[in-house]
Structure 1
C-alpha cells in the first residue's frame, strides 16, 4: 500500500484502540514506538551492511564494548538484540511490558556521549506515560497491540524513510485537528510550511552549505519542510545543518524524533530544550567553552511562535537581540521576531508567522515596526486566510525579513481570499501557494492581490502596515447606471469591463450586441449560450488551445508510464508544470494557476501510484486486495471482507475499459430494477393504507375493482422487483469475479493503457475544460447584466401602479363595522382610490 493508505489504516486502528487516554496523549505512545522501530531497524540495516548475518546479530549485547562503541560512533546509539523492536514482535504472546521499560532505560544509558543532546531522554514522555494504560497486564495487552500495528509500517522502500516521515507527520496533523489546540499548538499546517519553504529555498538556491534554524520548533515539521525544499535545489542533503529549540519537553522530543526519522545525520543536528526568549542559543557548551564558541548566525530562520504570549521584558534593554526595541509584556510577538532577525546572516532570509495585529498595533510595537522599516529589514508581508491554523481562527500573516537588502520598499500581499474549505478549517491549495511564491520571488504588483509599497507611503501612514491600506482585494461594489435604469439597455461601460474576453475573441462583441446609442447597447441574440458556443472566434480559440496541448498527452505517457521505475515524482511534477505554463501563456482567458491546480489534483493520485510501483514492482498493478468494511456484530464494529478491490487499478476503471459489455448488461438490469421499484412505490401510494387497527376503514377514491386491479399489478411488480434484485446481485458478483481474474492476468500493454486512463485522462480532461469554463463565466456575466437592466424604472413603476390598483379594488369589496370601513377608506386614499 502507498503511504496515504498506510497512514489511513494506522489512524483508523489508533482510533479503535484509543480509550484510556485522549488524542494528545495517545500520540506520545504511537509516535514513540514508531521512532523506536525506526532506530531498531536502522541499527539492523547498519550491521547487515557491515557483513553481519541475522544469527550474528542475536549475539549483540551491551557487554560487547567494542561493538557498542562502533555503533555509537556511527549511529549515535546502541540497542541490545533482546531490546530490538523486531525481538518484541517475535515474542508474540510472550511479550511483557517489562521488556519496554528495560529497553528504554538501556537506550538512555547507551547513547553516545557526543549525541546526548540528540537522543538523551527522547523517550521520557513515552516511558512515564505507560502507567496511564493501567496495571502491568493492561499495559502489556495495549502495548502488544500497538507494536503489531506499528510493525505494519514498511521500512525497506525506495523512498527510504520518507514514507515513515510522512506517516509521522500525518499522525501529528490528525491528532492536532481531532484534539484542537491542545494537540495542535505545536503543529504548523503543512501548506503553510510549504509556502514558507518555497520562499526560503528560492532565496538560498545557489548555496552549497546552509544553516537553518527554528527557535520555536514544535514538532519540527516546519524545519523539515524547509530542509526538504532546500535539499531539492541543492542536491546535497548533508550540506544542511539544522538548529532547533523548543520549550516544552514532550514537544521537544517530537522535534528530535521527527528530524532523526527524516534520515538527517545526528552530526547535522543541533537541538536544545529551552526558553528562546530567556535563554538564547548558547554561545558555548559548558563542557568545552573555548572549543564550542558559536554565536549562531544562520542562512535561514523559520518560526511559528505562540501568538501574543506574555513574556518578561525587564532587563532586556542590554540584550543585543532587541536593539530595535522591547516588545510589551503582554505580547511577545516582536520579541520572537527580533530574536530570529538577530541570528540571521547578512545574506540570509527569515519567515515568521504572526498575528495580524503586529501590523498596526501602536506603542512599543509601533516603534519596533518603524525601526524595522527605516532599516529596510521587512521584505514582504503575506496576509493568510483566517481559520487556517488548528485551535485558532484569528487572521495571521507571514512576515519575510532580510538582514541586508538593496530595496527599501515592502511587498504587501493579500492572500486571504485564496483557500479551500477543509472541514471546519480553511486550507491553502497548491495553486494558492504557487501564486504567492511567484509574486514574492518577482516582487510583483498584481491588482487586488499584491503591491510594492514605497517607504514614503508607509511613513505617511505612520508606519501602519495594515494590509487593506495598501491592497484592496474586496469585490467591486455593484453600481447601477441611471440612464439604463430609466430607459433600458446595457451600459457600454459595463460591457467594456469585459474587455479581456473581447480582446481574446475578436468579433464576439459585435456579434452579441446591437449598436444602440453611445451610452447603452442591447443583446441582438435570443439564445446567448448558443450564440457564444457557435461563434467562430470562440470555436477557433478552443481549437487553438487544444492544438497547443496536443503533444502533452504523448509526453506524459512517455515520461510517466514509460519511465515509471525511474521518474522522480516531485521533480517531474515541476517539469510538467513548467510545460503547462508555457503552453498556457498564449491564452489570456486561462489562468495558469487554475491549470496548476488541475495538475496538482491529478498528481496526488499519480505520485501515490508511482510510489507503490517503485516500492512493490510493476506486478503491483496485477494485485487485488480484500475490500474490508465495518459491520455491526454483537453490538461492536467488526472489520469483515466485502468483496475485492484493485491494489493499484480500480475495478471500475478496468470494467469500463475491458469489460464494457458485461458492465453495460449489469447497468441495464440495474436501470430496470430502478424503474420497477418506482412502479411499486407508485402503486403503493395509489392503494388505500392498511387498516391501522382502530376499526375505521381508510378513505379511498378508487372503486373496489380498481383497488383489486392495482393490487394485482403491485403483486406482479413486486415479483419482478425481487427477480431483478437477484439478477443484479448475481451479475454484480459475476462481474467482480471476472474483474478480479482479469486484473490478475493483465498484459503489460493492458496495464499501460489502464494507467493512461487513470493518470493522464483526468489531467488532460481537466486542462481541456479551462477555456470553456472561462467562456461560461463570460456568458453568466452577460446574463447578469441583461437581467440587471431588463426592467426599466417605468416598467417597475407601472407594475407598482397595477398592484396598487388591484389592491384598491380588492379593498373596495371588503365589509366590516364602522371603524373598519373608516380605516379601509383612509388606506384607499393613500393608494389613490376613492
Structure 2
C-alpha cells in the first residue's frame, strides 16, 4: 500500500529524534538525509543495470540493515556509503557524515543502539513504488526535512534553504511555461540545497537543464543528493565561490550564459571582495559600477545579469536596501534601470527567511525586452502571510495572487502598480516600494460633530457600500436618516449580527454563493479519479477552476476561497488522493491493524478497537460509516452514555453531600477522602446505626446503577464497533466513492465555505457595532451622566457627614 505523505514525513522526523542531543540540526541533517538517500537509491536502483545510480554488491541499504546490533556498525556503515560513493562519483557528496563519530553518536552500546534504531525507522519504508506519476514523494519529503532543519538550525546556519513558497514565486515569474524547451538552461550561482533550481525546473513540462554552484562543501553535497532524490541525477552542481571563482565558463574563458537564473544570495556579504580585484574583473561583471567593498548584494545581481543570455530572464532575492541605498549602489541601480534590465520588483513580508529576519524583495530581470522597457511593475506583498512558529510564511493564496498579478501585470489598489520610468527618474532612481505604492489602510477618522451631537456619520455608513450593493434592505433595517449627513442606528449593537444573519437578503446571498461551489464540484468529478493519475495535476486543475468560479462573486475573495481548498488539500485530501491514484478506490475499505514493536507503545491512535485488536482506517473514518449507516445505533449508544453520565453525576453528588466530616459516610472507610463500592460493601456488613446503614445502602445502590450503566454501554459499544468494523468489508466501490467524495471532501469544503461567508458577515456586523458604540453617547449625554453621578456621590458623602465646596 502507498505511503501517505504525512506518514512518511512523521517517520522521517522521528528519525531525527534519535540523533538529537549529541548534535544540532545543522549537523544531524547530514546523517538523516544520507540514510534517506541510501534507502531511496537502494529501493529504486538495486539490481537495475541501467539505473542512473549503480548499487554495487554489499553497498545497499539492505547491507546496513544486517548491521543492526553489530558493535562495529558505525565504521561498517561508513564503508558501505563509501563504496556507493566510489561507484557513482559521489565522493564528498554522500559521505560527508561520519557514522563512527563517538562525540556525536555516543560510545559503544550507545552508538550501536542509536544507529540500529535509526536504520530500523527507515527499514519499514518501501520507496521503490511509492511515486505517483508526476508526483515527487521523496522530493517533497526532502523539502519537508530541509524546512525543519532550517528552522532548528537557527539564524546562523539556516541559509542553506530557501522557503519553498518563495522558490515557487521565483520559478513562476521568470516566464517558464508549458512551451519552454527541455534543453533550456537554468542557473543558480548560490544554489544552497538546490530548491530554487528544482522549483524552476518543475515549471517546465519536461524539466530544464540544471546548473548550479555552491560555496559550502556540505551544502553543495545536499544539493547533489537533492537532485538525485528529485530524479534529476544529471543536474550539474559545482563547488566554489561564484564571485571569486565562477565555475561555469565558455571555452573562451568568459562566463557561460543561461536562459534562466534564480538565486537567493547571502544578504549583504561583507567579504565578497576577498580574493578578487573588482576593478580588474576578467569577466567584466562590474561595468555598470563596483558594489561597496563591505556589501556584496549588487555583486551577485551583476554576476547573474552577466550570466544571462541576451534573451535571458532571472529572479533574485535581495534585501530591501538594494532598492534605495545611495552612493555606489545608487549609480549601479540607475544604470540597470536605464538599461531596462529590471522588469519588476516584488516586496516580500519580513521574517520569511531562515538566515535573517529583515524584509527582502524579488528583483525580476528580463534582458529580452530591455530595450523597449518604459516602466517597472511593482508589487507590495508585505502584508500577506501567516505566522508559522517564530517565522512568517506565505500562504497558497499569497503565492497565487503575487504570481497572477505579476504575470498579468494587473494593477490593484495598495498592492501593485505599473510605474513609469519617468516617475522613477524623478525620484532619482530610488526604487523603494512605499514611494510608489501606499499599502497602508485608510485611517479611521472620528467625527467631532457626531461625538458632540450624536448620530453616525453617513460617510462611515457609505464606506460599507460594497455590502449595501448586495444588502440594500439590510442597510435600511440597520440605519435611518437622523439629520443632514448623519444616520441613527435602529438595532442594538448586540443584535446586529443576528439581524443580518436572519435577514432574507443575507440568506439569499448565502444560497447564491454556494451555487458556484456546487457547479465546481460537478465539474471536478472527483469520483472519476483513476489509478495512475497525477495528484499535483489534479489539484492544479480543480483549484484553478474554483478560482474562476469565485472570480466575480461579490464580497468573497477568490483568493480566500482558493486557500480553503489548498489548506484542506495539504491537511487531508492530498494524502487521500495520493493513495487512490496508486491503490485504487478499493483501499477505502481497508482497516490496517496496528501492532506496536516489542516494549514500545503504538505510534498511531486507533480508529477502532475490536477485542484486543486495534485498527486504523486508511481513508474512511468510522465517523463517516456511522453517519451514513448507523445513525439509529449511534443514538442508542449516545442514550446509554447519557444514562451513565447521569448515574455517575448522581453518585458523585451523593458522595459529596454525605462524605464530609459530618457526613453519614464519613466513618464508612478508613480513608474518608475515598469512598468506593468495595469500602461501602465492607462497611455495610458491620454497620449498626440505622441512618448510617441507610446511607450506605443508598451509596451501594448508586454504585450498582453506575456499574450497570457502564456494563450496558460497553456491551452496546462493543457490538456497535463490531457492526461498523464489518461494514467496511461490505462497501461497494460506489459507496466508497460517495463516502470519500461527498461525505468527507465536499462536506468539509462546503462547511469551510459557509464559515467564510459568515466571516464576511461578521466583518460587517463588527463595523456596524463599532460605529454604533462609538457614537452612542454624545458629549452632552456623557456630561449629564457625569453630573448625575457626581450629585449622587455628593449626596452619599453628605449623608455620611462629609461635605465640601469647590
TM-score normalised by the chain length of structure 1: 0.83
In structure 2, C-alpha distance between the alignment counterparts of 1:183 and 1:713, rounded to whole Å: 69
Q: Does 1:105 align with 2:82?
A: yes
2:463 corresponding residue in structure 1? 497
Alignment partners' CA distance in 1, 2:156 and 2:646: 53
Q: Deviations over 1:622-675 (max 9, x none)?
A: 2222457999x8xx9775986322012122222222222232223333344444
Residue pairs, 1:209-228, within 5 angstroms: 209-228=183-202
Q: How far 1:322 sits from its partner (Å)?
A: 2.0
- Deviation per CA, 1:581-609: give whole Å up to 9, x if none: 33223422111111111121222322211
Partner of 2:33: 31
**Quick one: distance in 2 between partners of 1:641 and 1:487?**
63
State the SS of the aligned residue for 1:126.
coil
Task: Provide closer, same or farther for how the CA distance between residues 640 and 39 of structure 1 changes in structure 2, counting only shifts above 3 A.
Answer: closer
Matches within 5 A, 1:543-622: 543-556=511-524, 558=525, 560-604=526-570, 605-622=572-589
1:736 aligned onto 2:721 = yes
Matched, 1:379 2:343: yes
Judged with a 3 Å threshold, the aligned counterparts in structure 2 of structure 1 residues 809 and 379 are, in CA distance, closer, same or farther, namely: farther
Match of 1:327 among 271, 291, 312: 291
Cα distance in 1 for partners of 2:247, 2:384 equals 37
> Alignment partner for residue 149 of structure 2, among 175, 183, 193?
175
- 1:754 is matched with 739
Question: Alignment partner of 2:351: what SS?
Answer: coil
Matched, 1:668 2:639: yes
1:55 maps to none
Work out the CA distance in 2 between the residues paired with 1:710 and 1:386. Answer: 69
Equivalents in 1 of 2:385, 2:309: separation in Å? Answer: 34
Deviation (angstroms), 1:254 = 0.3
**Cα offset, 1:248, TM superposition:** 0.9
Summarize deviations over 1:103-147 as a string: whole Å, max 9, x none: 333334333xxxx5xx34212312476454345765554434333
CA-CA distance at 1:163 after TM superposition: 1.6
1:68 corresponds to: none
Query: 2:768 is paired with a residue of what secondary structure?
Result: helix
How far did residue 707 of structure 1 move? 11
Partner of 1:342: 306
How far apart are residue 396 of structure 1 and its match? 2.2
User: Which residue of 152, 162, 169 maps to 1:195?
Assistant: 169
Candidates 268, 292, 298, aligned match of 2:258: 298
Residue 236 of structure 1, aligned match among 206, 213, 219: 206
Residue 388 of structure 2, aligned match among 414, 422, 433: 422
Contact 1:133 1:142 in 2 (8 A): yes
Residue 775 of structure 1, CA deviation: 3.1
Q: State the alpha-carbon separation in 1 of the partners of residues 710 and 303 from structure 2.
A: 71
Q: 2:789 corresponds to which residue?
A: 803
Could you tell me the TM-score, scaled by structure 2's length?
0.86
**Preserved CA contact (<8 Å) 1:83 1:99:** no
Range with bigger deviation, 16-25 or 352-361: 16-25
1:244-290 deviations in whole A, cap 9, x for unaligned?
11111111100000011211142xx2211101121123425xxxx57
Determine which of 79, 84, 90 is the counterpart of 2:55: 79
1:135-534 → structure 2 map (5 Å cutoff): 139-153=111-125, 154-159=127-132, 162-181=136-155, 183-202=157-176, 205-207=179-181, 209-228=183-202, 230-231=203-204, 235-237=205-207, 240-266=208-234, 269-283=235-249, 295-313=255-273, 315-319=277-281, 320-390=284-354, 392-403=356-367, 404-405=369-370, 406-525=372-491, 527-534=495-502
RMSD of the alignment, in Å?
3.4
SS at 1:348's partner residue? strand
Distance, in Å, in 2 between the alignment partners of 1:713 and 1:348 is 89
The Cα shift of 1:796 comes to 1.1
The answer on whether the counterparts of 2:257 and 2:309 sit within 8 Å (CA) in structure 1 is yes
Q: 1:388 to 1:684 in 2, by over 3 A?
A: farther
Q: Is the 8 A contact 2:530 2:584 kept in 1?
A: no
Separation in 2 of the partners of 1:790 and 1:464? 47
Alignment correspondent of 2:678: none
Q: Deviations over 1:416-463 (max 9, x none)?
A: 221222222221111111111111112222112222222333333333
SS at match of 1:306: coil
Worse-matched range after superposition: 345-354 or 429-438: 345-354
SS at match of 2:97: helix
| Deviation string, structure 1 residues 325-362 (Cα, Å, up to 9, x no partner) | 22223322222222222212233322222223333332
Q: Distance in 2 between matches of 1:26 and 1:145?
A: 15
Answer with 423-432 or 308-317: which moved more.
Answer: 308-317
Cα distance in 2 for residues equivalent to 1:358 and 1:676: 72
2:6 to 4, 7, 12: 4
SS of the residue corresponding to residue 506 of structure 2 reads: helix
Q: Secondary structure at the match of 2:362?
A: strand
Q: 1:297 to 1:733 in 2, by over 3 A?
A: farther
Distance 1:587 1:123, change over 3 A: closer
Quickly say closer, same or farther: Cα 1:467–1:721, change in 2 above 3 A: farther
5 Å-filtered alignment, 1:663-742, equals: 663-679=634-650, 689-690=660-661, 717=702, 719-742=704-727
Indicate if the aligned counterparts of 1:628 and 1:639 stay in contact, CA closer than 8 A: no
Alignment correspondent of 2:681: none
Deviation at 1:813, TM superposition (A): 5.2
Asked if 2 retains the 8 angstrom alpha-carbon contact of 1:155 and 1:164, the reply is: no
Question: SS in structure 2 opposite 1:551?
Answer: helix
> Which residue of structure 2 aligns with residue 123 of structure 1?
94
* Structure 2 alignment gaps of length 5 or more: 607-613, 674-688
Deviations 1:725-748 (A, max 9, x none): 455455444443333332244222
Distance in 2 separating the partners of 1:663 and 1:384: 51
CA contact (8 A) 1:351 1:398 kept: yes
* Number of aligned residues: 761
- Larger deviation: 530-539 or 601-610? 530-539
Alpha-carbon distance between aligned partners in 1 of 2:502 and 2:248, rounded to the nearest angstrom:
72
Q: For each residue in 1:62-91, what CA deviation from the matched residue of structure 2 results, as whole angstroms up to 9, or x when unmatched?
A: xxxxxxxxx6xx73x543222222344356
Tell me the secondary structure at the aligned position of residue 55 of structure 2. Answer: coil
In 2, distance between residues paired with 1:723 and 1:390? 59
CA distance in 1, matches of 2:795, 2:299: 76
Task: Tell me the distance in 1 between the aligned counterparts of 2:247 and 2:707.
Answer: 76
SS at match of 1:145: helix
Q: Secondary structure of 1:553's partner?
A: helix
Conserved 8 A contact 1:81-1:87: no
Query: Which is further off, 763-772 or 271-280?
Result: 763-772
- SS in structure 2 opposite 1:522? strand
Q: Residue 20 of structure 1 corresponds to which residue in structure 2?
A: 22
Q: Kindly indicate which of the two structures has a greater share of residues assigned to helix.
A: 1
* Alignment-derived partner of residue 50 in structure 1: none
Task: Report the Cα offset of residue 409 of structure 1.
Answer: 2.2
Distance 1:109 1:656, change over 3 A: same
Report the alpha carbon displacement of residue 710 of structure 1 after superposing the two structures with TM.
Answer: 8.8
